[in-house]
Structure 1
Amino acid sequence: MYYFYLFFIYSIIGWVIEMFYTSYMNKKIVNRGFLLGPYCPIYGTGAMAIIFTLKGYENNLITLFVMSLILCSIIEYITSYLMEKLFNARWWDYTNFKYHINGRVCLLNSILFGLLGILLIKFMHPFINNYVALINNNIIGYILILIFITDIIISFSIISRLRFTVDAIKKDYTGEITEKIRHVICEKSKVLKRLIDAFPNTRILKTKRSNK
């Protein structure tokens, strides 16, 4: 349960980072994240990967930076690939950035991940770990797990609805969510509107149809 608490806390911190970053870039408040709750599991996963792998490198900043950069970039790439396969959609695309790999990861974000890795190991984790180690109530953990799993189920159902909604509106779409389609989606559901606002550059990929 100790590790889940850490994962959950870092997922919340990641959500806060994403919210401030995207809100600053978009000049408006953006509730970033796939899930309904205030957490981004990709950050929790990245934080735990860094902690497990690099906990003994507190005094080697170069190793911390490079390995955090690599680990988090791999996690982001795999997440992008799996989400695309699961929902037939590209949720983020870095092809407009100068240095990227298949539009799934880019150098700028990877550098930021490296810096966050240093911040995590040198400052955040020692502080947070002292308080998490004091938690001896597993009931809270089980409740959080139940909430988290329920959120995943509901959110994945909502994301699936987005694809079905686009299909119903325009069978021969080009892959881009046009302003017209975006307006109809937002009118249909406030939850789908939040998802579109969080990922404005979402591309619904065409379904391959077999010729019979």
Structure 2
Amino acid sequence: MPFTFSEIIVLFFTYSVIGWIWETIYCSIKDHHYDYRGFLFGPYCPVYGFAVTTILICTYRIQNNIFLLYVVGVIVATIFEYFASVFLQYVFHMKLWDYSHLWGNIQGRVAPIISLFWGIGVVFLVKVIQPFIQKLITWEEIKTHGYLALIIVIVMGTDFILTIFSVEKLHMSTKSWNERLNTRMKLDEGKLNQAFDKLMETLSWNQKRFLTSFPQLKFTDTKKFNQFKNRWIKKRRES
């Protein structure tokens, strides 16, 4: 094993934060408004942490071979993205991204052009970013003797539990609202939109963040809610 257990935890946390920063900046520029990205409450995206840490471990013996590094990076990143999508859909009934419009996609979860991009990112990460990050983590290990890893586990573990409750509450609310919208279809569109706006005001900050920061988010069992949600997001951004 090229890293100690506490180093792996700190690596995971570090790249979760870096991933959150990258995704927040990129999506905010692309969408022309601030997007607080990430599935959890805190400023970190665990999917990046898991993927990068796994890549660093899997490529430890081939990091001097650029071609093998690129290929393994593509494979590992694609597998993570696919199973992250499956996990979100079947555990939380959510879809945060959809590549159905891209050539060669698999169930809209992964696509060749995205995977090839991840490969480039992995090479850049291992060759340029990781040497600097490793120096910081080695210094941190000497200074904290692994206690930082313990704090990270407590903080992110608590965050994960709170997020599960928040998402499940949002899912149950959307199912309830979906049923209400279906029963009110005889109302005109204006009254339906007003009723939906009132329902949305009852959401918490984090639940509204999910809907606005992930415009492709869909609950797989609330078709009518998804339609009105898209209109609500557009109206919110224009105001």
SS at match of 2:36: coil
Given that residues 11 and 40 in structure 1 are in contact (C-alpha distance below 8 angstroms), is that contact kept between their aligned partners in structure 2? yes
For 2:201, give the aligned amino acid. E
Q: Where do residues 77-116 of structure 1 align in structure 2 (5 Å cutoff)?
A: 77-116=82-121
Deviations 1:92-125 (A, max 9, x none): 2111222311100122321221111001111111
Q: Identify the residue that residue 156 of structure 2 maps to in structure 1.
A: 148
TM-score (norm 1): 0.88
Q: Identify the residue that residue 52 of structure 1 maps to in structure 2.
A: 57
Q: Determine which of 144, 152, 167 is the counterpart of 1:159.
A: 167
Distance 1:203 1:73 in 2: 21
Given that residues 5 and 141 in structure 1 are in contact (C-alpha distance below 8 angstroms), is that contact kept between their aligned partners in structure 2? yes
Q: Quick check: which has more Rg, 1 or 2? A: 2
SS at match of 1:15: helix
For 2:214, give the aligned amino acid. F
Shift of 1:164: 0.8
SS at match of 2:179: coil
Distance 1:147 1:182 in 2: 35
Distance 2:39 2:20 in 1: 10
Distance 2:136 2:212 in 1: 35
Distance 1:185 1:172 in 2: 10
Of residues 185-194 and 109-118 in structure 1, the stretch that sits farther from structure 2 once superposed is 185-194
Q: Identify the residue that residue 12 of structure 2 maps to in structure 1.
A: 7
Gaps of at least 5 residues in structure 2 are 1-5, 183-191, 223-239
Given that residues 9 and 152 in structure 2 are in contact (C-alpha distance below 8 angstroms), is that contact kept between their aligned partners in structure 1? no
Q: Determine which of 124, 128, 131 is the counterpart of 2:129.
A: 124
Distance 2:77 2:180 in 1: 36
Q: Determine which of 180, 187, 201 is the counterpart of 1:187.
A: 201
Given that residues 51 and 76 in structure 2 are in contact (C-alpha distance below 8 angstroms), is that contact kept between their aligned partners in structure 1? yes
For 1:46, give the aligned amino acid. A
Structure with higher helix content: 2
RMSD: 2.1
Gaps of at least 5 residues in structure 1 are 208-212
